[in-house]
Structures are given as C-alpha cells and as structure tokens.
C-alpha cells in the first residue's frame, strides 16, 4: 500500500507546484488581457497505471485545474495549455526506474521513451499555436482524443476528429487495457509461486 506521505508529497510537488506559480501571474495576465499558462501533466495523468497511484492522482488533478481555469480566464484572453508527455529520458525518469515495480516497468515498455528536446519542442509548439492539449506521437494523440471529455477544443476540426475517432480509439484502448491486465495478473501469479516455493523450501 502507498504511504500517505507519498500522496501528500506528490500532490504538493505536481498539483500545488502548478497552482502557486499560476496564481502568481494570473492577476497581471487578466489585467493586461493577454497570457498563456502551460501546465505539465503526464500520460499517467490521462490513464491510471499500476504503481502510479499517487503520481497519477497528482497529474490528473492538473487536468481539472487546467479545465476549470481555462473557463475562468478565457474572457480575459488568457489561455491554458496542458501537456501530457510520455516517458521522457530525464534524470527523474532514471531515478524512478530504480524502484519501479515489475508490472509498471513491463507496461512502460509497451511504448518508447522520448528525448527531452522532442517533448519540449512539442509543448512550446502547442502553446504557441494556442492548443489546450499538448501530446506527443500516435499514442499521445489517441490518449488525448480518448480522454477529451469536456476539455475545450482549439478548432471545430479538432472536435470533429475526436468525435469521428472515438469508437476506433476506444477499441484499440481496450486491447491495451487487456494487455496491461494480463501483465499484472502474470506478475501476481509469479510472485505467489515464488512465495509458495520460499515457504516450502
């Protein structure tokens, strides 16, 4: 079970770490009638994954913040971009891999690790273009379309693409979820066999 201090620490870093700087600039942006705030969530903020209970919750919270804030500041010509980067080759990712559960590692291996430069370029590009969502690659595009919910759209075309692709993407997502569930079950069975072997040895 995840410790309470871990939940509190990640909410402080990821969620409140997004709240405080935006609070610091929002009043001036509204007065000037111009501005853009970029929040960095994660693909794990769109899809809850094994081993990421505390992390995913803190990154999902950023999305709620971004959607509500966008509605509040849009009349002032202030806009929000929320980025959902995939696994990115950073020192933090390397550190995370040292303690990552086997299930999480195996699930993570179903997609490739991106370079920080790629991720940064995409986030800046999407912010400049005025996009609410910023994602990378085909998996990122699919996840953003699948989890769009009541998120704002930048254009009618974006909204139509989400509507048209939803059924297909949901079908693909069900295969992914089935694969992830299978990984978790296999790891659990291996762990139980190992425990039985240890007890009988």
Cα separation, 21 vs 176, in Å, equals 36
Q: Which of 18, 41, 134, 144 is catalytic?
A: 41
Query: Which listed residue (15, 42, 58, 59) is catalytic?
Result: 59
Annotation says 141 is catalytic:
no
Please say if 100 is a catalytic residue: no
Q: Which of 15, 55, 79, 84 is catalytic?
A: 55
Q: What is the DSSP string of 138-189?
A: HHHHHHHHHT-TT---SSHHHHHHHHHHHHHHHHHHHHHHHHHHHHHHHHHH
Backbone phi and psi for residue 141, each to the nearest 5 degrees, phi listed first: -65, -45
Residue 100 contacts by C-beta under 8 Å, 6 or more apart in sequence?
51, 108
Q: Residue 51: phi, psi to the nearest 5?
A: 85, -5
135 is catalytic: no
- Residues serving a catalytic function are 41, 55, 59
């Amino acid at each position: 079970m995840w410790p309470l201090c871990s939940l509190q620490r990640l909410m402080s870093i990821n969620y409140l770490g997004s709240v405080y700087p935006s609070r610091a600039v929002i009043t001036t942006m509204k007065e000037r009638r111009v501005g853009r705030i970029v929040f960095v969530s994660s693909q794990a903020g769109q899809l809850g994954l094994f081993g990421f209970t505390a992390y995913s919750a803190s990154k999902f919270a950023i999305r709620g913040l971004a959607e509500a804030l966008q509605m509040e500041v849009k009349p002032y010509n202030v806009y929000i971009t929320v980025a959902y980067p995939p696994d990115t080759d950073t020192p933090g990712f390397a550190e995370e891999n040292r303690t990552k559960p086997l299930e999480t590692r195996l699930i993570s291996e179903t997609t490739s690790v991106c370079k920080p430069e790629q991720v940064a370029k995409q986030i800046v590009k999407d912010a400049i273009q005025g996009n609410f969502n910023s994602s990378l690659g085909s998996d990122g595009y699919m996840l953003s379309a699948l989890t769009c919910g009541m998120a704002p759209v930048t254009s009618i075309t974006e909204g139509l693409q989400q509507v048209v692709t939803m059924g297909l993407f949901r079908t693909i997502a069900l295969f992914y979820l089935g694969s992830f569930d299978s990984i978790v079950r296999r790891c659990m069975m291996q762990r139980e066999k190992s425990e039985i072997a240890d007890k009988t040895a």
